[in-house]
Structure 1
């Protein structure tokens, strides 16, 4: 099976590669609007987003066994410790993909059924850069031979003051404090996002999707509107977390409020700017 035919068979994974692509065309009004929805997007719109996220490292591999892609932007490449970690993460993800693919290929040959190439497509994007933090987001498309592929997300912060990699939740006193500070706006945001897709939130007591999940169990992206303070936040939710696979993923924008800032560890409070 060729790489082209695999992408036709699993378009959800091929679509993930768009994260790493950059168009040289003048951005359309729709593209500008989409760029404005990205937490911490620069005011220039889609063109500036593309320039900031032009990958400094972009590794791709495609053959009958696997399809692999992993990229990260120049802001990350400029930090030697972070670039080394990303290179190591890339190697780990590729090795795991090959090991699983070889195991399933052998099983397919033994069982006399077709093998479907496995995929891991991951693109790190710059969300924002402040004097203290570089914030990155990642969307990951995977396929392991089943009925469909899967989309997942990742996040990281590089703390320039401590020269250390963090997760956004590391900045808060606890996951419980973080959840309590944003629960209402997060859960209301899910309902609005579902309604925008024409989906009525399932509130039946026996439904697995009846309850709003804790935001701390999802992927948190921190952004900035002014390049100085963290004042924007998006919660990325993978398929199956709040609805059936057909609903796809959700990206819920949640305001940075005073209540959220009060849930921070003292050393990070000065790096945030609440809306009230």
Structure 2
């Protein structure tokens, strides 16, 4: 399954994900991140589109940098976000009406709470006629906890894209092996005991499949990092939403492979576009 939130119906995707049950972590996991509301990126300006009523509050924002790069792309992203909000708004309205009818009949013991959804598209980097875009979706539909989803895609000037990762990476299997190794290290850093490394490696293998699948299908939700060298990209970050590669309590993962580690992995058309060190956002404390 190729993962790109930027090319799917976001509302359908998040609704399906919300129906998943909580997965119980193994005993080797000494600490997990609290299942709390994810922080969305810093405000990019006034919402370009907003829906507010008694059953739903939703907003969508497209980074002005995307509109400056390609107004048509910005319009397409906003149209998809608007469709997702409208679908969620309709769902919230139906669910509130069903709840009210059940209350009238004395058949429910829960309280309906208005749904919330926010969709943000923001520019991560831009060089040589390409722009890397990340999509963040926040959703609260009254479940045990809110959910959030990450997606990334690359676009060329004048409607080119999204660009598949296989257009950039010449050896998906080797790239996938490095991606899986990075995910294992990220899980160990996040709280698994070092003694659980074997279990974590098996877990990552089960989630991502063989190296070629990991480096093509799973890696297809990615962003290109800004670089310390002007006019180049500093690395590739593959994005994993909660539930993709572990229980919700582990949160999301962003696995970065710097430009220096991409040497020999890139297609001829892309090798010269990478260099320097990746410029990453500061880690949250």
2:189 paired residue number = 196
Does the aligned pair in 1 maintain the 2:118–2:137 contact within 8 Å? yes
Superposition CA RMSD, Å: 2.9
1:217 paired with 2:218, answer yes
Q: CA deviation at 1:202?
A: 6.8
Match of 1:108 among 74, 78, 99: 99
Q: Which has the higher contact order (CA 8 A, sep 6+)?
A: 2
Seen in structure 2, the aligned counterparts of structure 1 residues 86 and 137 have a Cα distance that, compared at 3 Å, is same
Report Cα offsets for 1:184-237 as digits up to 9, x if no partner: 3222222222222222457449x8656351253252111230342233111111
Report Cα offsets for 1:56-84 as digits up to 9, x if no partner: 76434443211212112221122221122
TM-score between the two structures when normalised by the length of structure 2: 0.67
Seen in structure 2, the aligned counterparts of structure 1 residues 152 and 253 have a Cα distance that, compared at 3 Å, is same
Report Cα offsets for 1:144-191 as digits up to 9, x if no partner: 22211211112222212x5423144262478xx42x132332222222
Match of 1:72 among 62, 80, 88: 62
1:254 paired residue number = 257
Match of 2:180 among 176, 179, 187: 187
SS in 2 for 1:148: coil
1:244 paired with 2:247, answer yes
The whole-number CA distance in structure 2 between the counterparts of 1:137 and 1:246 is 22
1:142 paired residue number = 139
The whole-number CA distance in structure 1 between the counterparts of 2:251 and 2:36 is 13
The whole-number CA distance in structure 2 between the counterparts of 1:252 and 1:217 is 12
Gap runs ≥5 in structure 1: 1-9, 22-53
Does the aligned pair in 2 maintain the 1:20–1:55 contact within 8 Å? no
SS in 2 for 1:147: coil
The whole-number CA distance in structure 1 between the counterparts of 2:112 and 2:275 is 52
TM-score between the two structures when normalised by the length of structure 1: 0.69
Does the aligned pair in 1 maintain the 2:123–2:131 contact within 8 Å? yes
Match of 1:63 among 39, 44, 53: 53
Count of residues in Structure 1 that have an aligned counterpart in Structure 2: 223
Mapping for residues 86-165 of structure 1, pairs under 5 Å: 86-112=77-103, 113=108, 114-160=111-157, 163-165=159-161
The whole-number CA distance in structure 1 between the counterparts of 2:46 and 2:72 is 15
1:81 paired with 2:86, answer no
Q: CA deviation at 1:140?
A: 1.3
